[in-house]
């Protein structure tokens, strides 16, 4: 079973963080995707800003479900803070393609203007009898 948990210790991600193009005074957060043996299968690095959430790094282990789960968990947390806009500062072309194909961004943009709309579409998917 996949578990997605926020981690407080970013120490083992310092090399990745140093290579990110972050705005000054950015306070990063980290969420990891863990398997049953607590092995890290993916992660997402992000920061809350006054008007948006910035997503700066994402490693999904080349797994669409991990990509979807990690991004949705962060978008949900942003929603709880009253944030409706997400900006994906991801440079990896494969990850960018998955983010677009999963419907988080459109038309090769790097932002999502309405988080609620994406999260509502998830509810509609769950309500579809063919998905149970």
Q: What average pLDDT score do residues 97-109 get?
A: 90
First vs last C-alpha separation in the chain: 17
* Pair of tokens at residue 5: 């948990």
pLDDT, residue 29, reads 97
- Answer CATH for 3-131 from 3.60.130.10, 3.40.50.11750, 3.40.630.10, 3.40.630.30: 3.40.630.30
pLDDT tens digits along 6-41: 999 999 999 999 999 898 889 999 999 998 898 999
Angle at 29 between CA 25 and CA 33, to 5 degrees: 155
pLDDT, residue 108, reads 79
What H or E segment, with its residue span, contains residue 111?
strand 111-112
Interatomic CA distance for residues 59 and 92, integer angstroms: 9
88: helix, coil or strand? strand
pLDDT, residue 122, reads 56
């Amino acid at each position: 079973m996949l578990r997605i948990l926020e981690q407080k210790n970013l120490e083992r991600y310092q090399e990745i963080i140093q290579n990110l193009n972050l705005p000054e005074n950015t306070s990063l957060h980290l969420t990891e995707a863990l398997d049953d043996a607590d092995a890290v299968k993916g992660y997402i690095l992000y920061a809350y800003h006054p008007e948006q959430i910035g997503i700066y790094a994402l490693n999904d282990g080349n797994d669409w479900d991990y990509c979807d789960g990690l991004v949705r968990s962060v978008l949900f947390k942003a929603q709880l803070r009253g944030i409706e806009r997400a900006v994906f500062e991801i440079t990896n072309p494969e990850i960018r393609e998955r983010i677009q194909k999963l419907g988080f961004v459109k038309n090769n943009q790097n932002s999502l203007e309405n988080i609620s709309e994406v999260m509502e579409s998830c509810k509609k998917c769950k309500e579809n009898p063919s998905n149970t």
